Amino acid sequence: MRLWLVRHGPTHARTLIGRTERPADLSDTAALGRLAAALPDAPVVSSDLGRARATADALARGRPRLADVRGLREFDYGAWEDRPFAEFDGPLSRAFFERPGDVAPPGGESWNAVERRAVAAVDALAADHAELIAVAHFGVILILWARAAGLPPAAALAQPVEPLSLTRIDWAPPRAHYANRCP
């Protein structure tokens, strides 16, 4: 399956947001138009979080719009959710970001947990679609990029993924084409 990953529109949050609902700023209609024009005529799916749903709806433009997929939602940051980075900086947060794997925020999800659910979600979608546009989040896009590029999680975290950027991968066999393109 060809997978076109789009990061939702900017939220302008200055905190760590995963499951927290923040609206996407979709006021840059020129950027949305360029992004929509760069995408193929393929079905559009998104995470079930509002910022991804709204972005997917804005990009659909006559493309089939599939039901939202919970497996594509951003990390649950648990006790760190919606807090500034400075408030939880310490050995655990440094391990979470520097050695992603099984380390998780208190009450939150690890890289490996999110990877399991995101990969399962994309596997299920790949069973029915040869090409797909998926509007998701920074963490999920990095996880899928790392899988396609054959990168360890820590190396993937160095890859920027800007709001309204496009990342293109093949799912099976996995192949990374490009990341963080802003058409």
The three state secondary structure string of the chain is CEEEEEECCCCCCCCCCCCCCCCCCCCCHHHHHHHHHHCCCCCEEECCCHHHHHHHHHHHCCCCECCCCHHHCCCCCHHHCCCCHHHCCCHHHHHHHHCCCCCCCCCCCCHHHHHHHHHHHHHHHHCCCCEEEEEECHHHHHHHHHHHHCCCHHHHCCCCCCCCCEEEEECCCCEEEEEEECC
pLDDT of residue 61: 94
CATH numeric code, 2-181: 3.40.50.1240
pLDDT of residue 167: 98
Q: What percentage of residues in the chain have a pLDDT greater than 90? A: 99
pLDDT tens for each residue of 75-90: 999 999 999 999 999 9
Q: Does residue 24 contact residue 56 with C-beta atoms inside 8 Å? A: no
Q: Does residue 15 contact residue 21 with C-beta atoms inside 8 Å? A: no
pLDDT of residue 78: 98
> Binning pLDDT at 50, 70 and 90, where does residue 40 land?
very high
d(CA 163, CA 36): 14
Pairing of strands 166-170, 2-7: antiparallel
Token pair, residue 149, equals 């590029």
Average pLDDT of the chain, as a whole number: 97
> Binning pLDDT at 50, 70 and 90, where does residue 103 land?
very high
pLDDT tens for each residue of 123-158: 999 999 999 999 999 999 999 999 999 999 999 999
